[in-house]
Amino acid sequence: MSKSHSVWVSRPLFPEVLAHLAQYVHVHAETEDRKHSSAELREKLAAVDGAIVALSDRIDGNVIAGNQRLRVVSNLAVGYNNFDVPALTAAGILATNTPDVLNETTADYAWALLLAAARRVSSAERWLRAGHWRGGMRFDDWLGVDVHGKTLGILGMGRIGQAIARRACGFGMPVLYHNRSRLPQTVEHDCCATWVEKSELLKRADHLMLVLPYSAQNHHAIGAAELALMKSTAVLVNIARGGIVDDAALAVALREGRVAAAGLDVFEGEPAVHPALRELDNAVLSPHIASASADTRRAMAQLAADNLLAALGYGPDAGHPRS
Ligand code: DGY
């Protein structure tokens, strides 16, 4: 097949996914994992019909201004707060994301963070590796907080929130959730979940998971005032987006013991992490990897590639350009 479209892939990607793309289109794939400046994005996108980009590539009006060629940007993520959707829409450029394929893996990771933070797994491991384990076993040391049987609060009850909640049923945990809209009763039942106002959620939850998409309205949805409502024994987990939590305020609450611990996979201004958070032993920190299982990252890459090909007129069953 002669190839009439060119695409740019902004990050190293699985070779088999690149090979799949290359059956239909010319592929220019970056081999280095790094964030691109606006000027670089502008230049790269001007030369292609489609692009697969990552969360740290900010695709805004400035980057696509005057671009007459680009037809689609395909995000390697379900969240798309790196896209200026109105600007893309006005320019007639399709924007795609990778919903659903990461729900269960991301939910697993939210639980990994909750359990690790509640039971002090990271700090215990650091202590052990540093050679501090000399005595026997101090009975009153390394005390964490329980997770099973406690009330789990979930802020943001989309597909990932629901996958997290279903796991809570197995831990004997009632779920309180807050979302713009209430879920149907059958779904609430499957998720052991009850809708409550946000302030009630913050006050009543023994542990809190943040699973809401980032938007200007959600900026610092959890700040000093919200943290003050939480129980001092609570663990806060953020697998949603940096910027939803005021990281500086959270660091203060953690340091003062007003929140017991936190499990954080996302940060304001990542890859930078607030220095005060890095100092804290009661914060479990990871580099935005909630969806990073081998199967799920492959599925996300494949879906991003299929979205891009579909937008350029290549059917999902491959090989037959529609235009
Ligand atoms: C997403 O898909 O939005 C995640 O945050 C990235 O893995």
Binding site membership of 78 for ligand 1 (Cβ less than 6 Å)? yes
Query: What ligand 1 atom has the least distance to the C-alpha of 75?
Result: 2
pLDDT at 2: 81
Q: Fold for domain 103-285?
A: Rossmann fold (3.40.50)
pLDDT, averaged across the chain: 95
Binding site membership of 95 for ligand 1 (Cβ less than 6 Å)? no
Q: How far is the CA of 281 from the centre of ligand 1 (A)?
A: 26
Mean pLDDT of 12-36: 96
Mean pLDDT of 135-162: 94
The distance in angstroms from the start CA to the end CA of the chain is 13
* Residue with CA closest to ligand 1 atom 6: 77
Active-site residue set:
241, 270, 288
pLDDT at position 1 over 90: no
pLDDT at position 317 over 90: no
pLDDT at position 320 over 60: no
Global pTM value: 0.94
Q: How far is the CA of 79 from the centre of ligand 1 (A)?
A: 6
pLDDT single digits (tens) 166-209: 999 999 999 999 999 999 999 999 999 999 999 999 999 999 99
Binding site membership of 79 for ligand 1 (Cβ less than 6 Å)? yes
pLDDT at position 138 over 90: no
Please state which CATH number belongs to domain 6-99+294-311. 3.40.50.720
CATH 3.40.50.720: which residues of the chain? Answer: 6-99+294-311, 103-285
Mean pLDDT of 19-24: 96
Percentage with pLDDT > 90 across the chain: 93
Percentage with pLDDT > 70 across the chain: 97
The pLDDT-based confidence of 322 (bands split at 50, 70, 90) is very low
Binding site membership of 284 for ligand 1 (Cβ less than 6 Å)? no
The pLDDT-based confidence of 323 (bands split at 50, 70, 90) is very low
Question: Is the distance from CB of 104 to CB of 163 less than 8 angstroms?
Answer: yes
pLDDT at position 132 over 70: yes
